[in-house]
Amino acid sequence: MTTLKNMSQLGFTNLEEEVMLDDLHVQGKIPEWLSGSLIRNGPAKFDLDKQSLKHWFDGLAMLHKFSFNAGKVSYTNKFIKSNAFLKTKEKGKISFREFATDPCRSIFSKVSSMFSFDTTDNTNVNISKIDNKFIAMTETPIPIEYDPETLDTIGVLNYDDKLLGNLTTAHPHYDQNTNESFNYLTHFSRNSKYNVYSITAGKTRNLITSIEAKTPSYMHSFGLTEHYIILVEFPLLVNSLDLLLSGRPFIENFKWRPEQGTKFTLINRLDGKVAGIYSCEPFFAFHHINAFEVDNKVVIDMITYKDNNIINSLYLDVLRGNDPIDIPVSQYRRFTIGLDEGSVGYKIMHEGLELPRINYQLNTRNYNFLYAVGMSSVTSFTDRLVKIDVKTGDSVSWTEQNCQPGEPVFVPRHGAKEEDDGVILSVVLDPNSGQSFLLILDSKSFKEIARASVPHHIPFGIHGQYYGDT
Ligand SMILES: [Fe+2]
């Protein structure tokens, strides 16, 4: 009998070294037109001198940059020197409340912390730009600016406004037709609210609307169409006082309340008015894929789970254990809200996907191709990259034995006329060699063009972006 082994432990193991390498070893041929940088963010340190973190999302943030120039690839990686990182280095344990790990406090400091959210600036989820400054983000609204050349930490980027909020998403949306960015803040208080905002210039967040949220939902991302911002409130809900007073790690204060169902709220982008609220069966999701309007309907694509157990399956004792991995199977669902009918329904498009990406030029518009990692194995965290033809349902995959790919980032070829004309960039963990490599696929054929080897393993990252201008 074959014993199934968890091949993913290396992906949740500390990476300590920071390197700057001019010229990675490349197999294959990097396209000459590829001239820019893939910058990725993710947790890279899970075991501290005096404490181990509990959850994948708690790990200390590290940036990785792959720069392409004339067929060559350079690589740099650096920890983000946040307050959370610096305090951790000094004390050997965390000082701030992370996603699922709390600092071990004395009774006195527990009482003191009741009066503050003790927010972490461990920005390990995604990267973006505000006011042409490069920032790393997590779900506390404390973006950290970094130097895109060196990946050195510059410091917290302060907004030029007084908008209130304790929680945000690391998935801001950008509408390239209007040059607006969108996001929202959850402000926890006796009268909690979602403060939905846009940024049109500089570092000023313009409040679009405040929506009352008696028991705020944990939402990792949101939807955007030409006319609407879409909040999808899953029934993973928190009582704000619990969050303040419980002393428990952040996510443990949220309770799964399926009887509440899931609530779609359409907010008019222009005047902030709620255009409609639509309820459906309970489900949970991290990631919206895309949303668009067609024929008086709003279409919202998401990677969904039947409940919040996906969060529990990402605790490090599960992911690093010796047992086969048991991660709930996701569904790629297409929700359609009939604005005339006033109802929401869905169909299942595909299963077992996560970290979805599209050609972001098609954001807010009908699109044809989805790229994602496949998560259908019990022996590895991820096991393939998948391209889905959304219209036909056809799919193609890239796999290699035991190799575990990360989020596939689509880069359009210069002058491309077709949606899928470009390359896919993905950092792949290879437990056979104990190292990672950057994989470059032709996004049309989904065949490998080249790979560039990194001299160490890169722990499983979360999100990254490609910048043609660095
Ligand atoms: Fe995410």
CA of 220 to the centre of ligand 1 (A): 6
CA of 81 to the centre of ligand 1 (A): 21
Tell me phi and psi for residue 28, to 5 degrees. 90, -165
Within its chain, how far is the Cα of 343 from the centroid? Answer: 29
User: Residue 418's closest CA among 469, 367, 357, 364?
Assistant: 367
Q: Could you read off the pLDDT of 314-372 as tens digits, one per residue?
A: 999 999 988 888 899 999 999 999 998 889 999 999 999 999 999 999 999 999 999 99
Q: Which residues, listed in sequence order, are joined to residue 157 by a DSSP beta bridge?
A: none
Place of tokens 């940036």: 63
User: Is the pLDDT score of 182 beyond 50?
Assistant: yes
CA of 169 to the centre of ligand 1 (A): 8
User: Residue 48's closest CA among 119, 109, 98?
Assistant: 98
Percent of the chain scored above 70 by pLDDT? 95
CA of 305 to the centre of ligand 1 (A): 14
Distance CA 435, CA 75 (A): 14
CA of 39 to the centre of ligand 1 (A): 15
Segment among 7-11, 263-267, 433-437, 466-470 with least mean pLDDT: 466-470
Please give the average per-residue pLDDT across 51-69, as a whole number. 96
CA of 141 to the centre of ligand 1 (A): 15
Give 407's contacts (C-beta < 8 A, 6+ positions apart): 40, 355, 357, 373, 426, 461, 462, 463, 464
Q: Are strands 167-168 and 173-175 parallel, antiparallel or unpaired?
A: unpaired
Q: Could you read off the pLDDT of 10-43 as tens digits, one per residue?
A: 999 999 999 999 999 999 999 999 999 999 999 9
Tell me the three-class secondary structure of 127-173, residue by residue: EEEECCEEEEECCCCCCEEECCCCCCEEEECCCCCCCCCCEECCCCE
User: Residue 153's closest CA among 62, 65, 66, 68?
Assistant: 62
Tell me phi and psi for residue 170, to 5 degrees. -90, 20
CA of 352 to the centre of ligand 1 (A): 16
Place of tokens 């990677």: 303
CA of 107 to the centre of ligand 1 (A): 35
CA of 73 to the centre of ligand 1 (A): 26
Distance CA 458, CA 64 (A): 9
Q: Could you read off the pLDDT of 370-417 as tens digits, one per residue?
A: 999 998 777 778 999 999 999 999 999 999 999 999 999 999 999 999
Q: Are 343 and 337 in contact (CB under 8 A)?
A: yes
CA of 340 to the centre of ligand 1 (A): 32
- Give the confidence band of 3 by pLDDT, cuts at 50, 70, 90: low
CA of 171 to the centre of ligand 1 (A): 7
Please give the average per-residue pLDDT across 217-222, as a whole number. 98
User: Is the pLDDT score of 52 beyond 70?
Assistant: yes
CA of 326 to the centre of ligand 1 (A): 20
CA of 139 to the centre of ligand 1 (A): 10
Distance CA 367, CA 360 (A): 10
The architecture that CATH gives domain 9-467 is 7 Propeller (2.130)
Cα torsion through 125, 128, 133, 139, rounded to 10: -40
Distance CA 338, CA 344 (A): 7
CA of 170 to the centre of ligand 1 (A): 7
Distance CA 137, CA 140 (A): 8
What sign does the dihedral 462-43-153-428 (CA atoms) show?
negative
Q: What is the residue extent of each domain of the chain?
A: 9-467
CA of 463 to the centre of ligand 1 (A): 7
Pull the structure tokens for residue 463: 């999100």
CA of 275 to the centre of ligand 1 (A): 26
Quick one: pLDDT at residue 4? 54
Please give the average per-residue pLDDT across 141-169, as a whole number. 96
